[in-house]
Structure 1
Amino acid sequence: MKKRMSFRFSNPATTTLQINYEINQCESATIGFIPFYGAVGKERIYKLGVLDNKIVIDVAAWDKGLYKLLLYCDGDAEEMRSVLIE
């Protein structure tokens, strides 16, 4: 069974983070950044265009540390990865 969506990105990130993604069977998609280690704050949510294939996020002002990235498809968590912001 093919995943409904997937993503890839460069790790670590310093000023910008480009996330390339593929959406196969989602009406709506978002990506959430959850501070995990060394960073504080609330989850940041970004809406993804279901017809697009990348998003560039300015992370220069973010706290340095480890973040968990959650990819949501139609409100359901689809995939999780970690990214280091330096």
Structure 2
Amino acid sequence: MRVISFVGTGNYQAVNYTFDGQQIITTCYCIEAIVTALKHNGTHIDDIVFIATKEAWDRHGALITSTLSPNSICHRHIPTEQGHSELW
């Protein structure tokens, strides 16, 4: 299974995540909780794709990569230098 997630530049705070009424994990990244729950159910994760700006990945990429290893992590870059015409 391929899992796709987004990460921004925010200051993420740790939260307790539950699945089927049981606490699964405490983490600041919801994708870590989702992947943990999927694996708990026996789902094989082939890779995790993160969509993020360079700034967001620079801020969170190393921690995300370390917390989700040994999964295959892939970062897809979203450009940040876009004006109104590029966005619409």
Task: Indicate whether the TM-score tops 0.5.
Answer: no
Normalised to the residue count of structure 2, the TM-score between the two structures is: 0.26
TM-score of the aligned structures, taking structure 1 as reference length: 0.26
Whichever structure has more helix as a proportion of its residues is 2
